[in-house]
Structure 1
Amino acid sequence: MKPPAGVQLRPMAAGQWPGVERIYRQGVAGGLATFEGTVPSWEDFSARKIAQLGLVAVDRDSAVIGWIAASPVSARWAYRGVIEHSVYVDAAQAGRGVGTALLGALGARARARGYWTIQCAIFAENHASRALHRKAGFREVGCRERIAQASAGPFAGQWIDTVLYELRLESGAAAET
Structure 2
Amino acid sequence: MIRVRPMMALDWPDVERILASGIAGGEATFETATPTWEAFDAGKVTDARLVAVDTDDRTVGWVAASRVSAREVYRGVIEHSVYVDPAHTGRGVGRALLDAFIDAAEAAGYWTIQSSVFPENDVSLRLHESAGFRVVGRRERIARSMLGAHAGRWRDTLLLERRSTRNGHDTP
**How many positions carry a matched residue from both structures?**
169
TM-score by length of structure 1 reads 0.92
Instruction: Find the counterpart in structure 1 of residue 149 from structure 2.
Output: 154
State the Cα distance separating 1:173 from its structure 2 match. 7.4
1:29 Cα deviation after fit: 0.4
Taking every aligned residue pair, what percent have the same amino acid on both sides?
A: 56
**Structure 1 stretches of 5 or more lacking a match?**
1-5
List runs of 5+ in structure 2 lacking aligned partners.
none
C-alpha distance in 1 between matches for 2:63 and 2:146: 22
**Equivalent residue of 1:60, what SS?**
coil
Instruction: Tell me the equivalent position of 1:3.
Output: none
1:129 match: 124
2:106–2:167 CA contact under 8 A, matched in 1: no
Map of 2:89 onto structure 1 = 94
For 2:9 and 2:54, how far apart are their aligned partners in 1? 18
Q: Matched residues in 2 for 1:34 and 1:159: separation?
A: 13
Equivalent-residue separation in structure 2 for 1:95 and 1:8 (angstroms): 16
Q: How far is 1:152 from its partner?
A: 1.8
**Cα distance in 1, alignment partners of residues 148 and 40 from structure 2:** 20
TM-aligned CA distance change 1:60 to 1:172, over 3 Å: closer
Q: What's the offset of the Cα at 1:87?
A: 0.1
Q: How does 1:8-157 map to 2 (within 5 A)?
A: 8-157=3-152
Provide Cα deviations, 1:53-81, integer angstroms capped at 9, x if missing partner. Answer: 11000011111100000110001111110
In structure 1, C-alpha distance between the alignment counterparts of 2:15 and 2:149, rounded to whole Å? 22
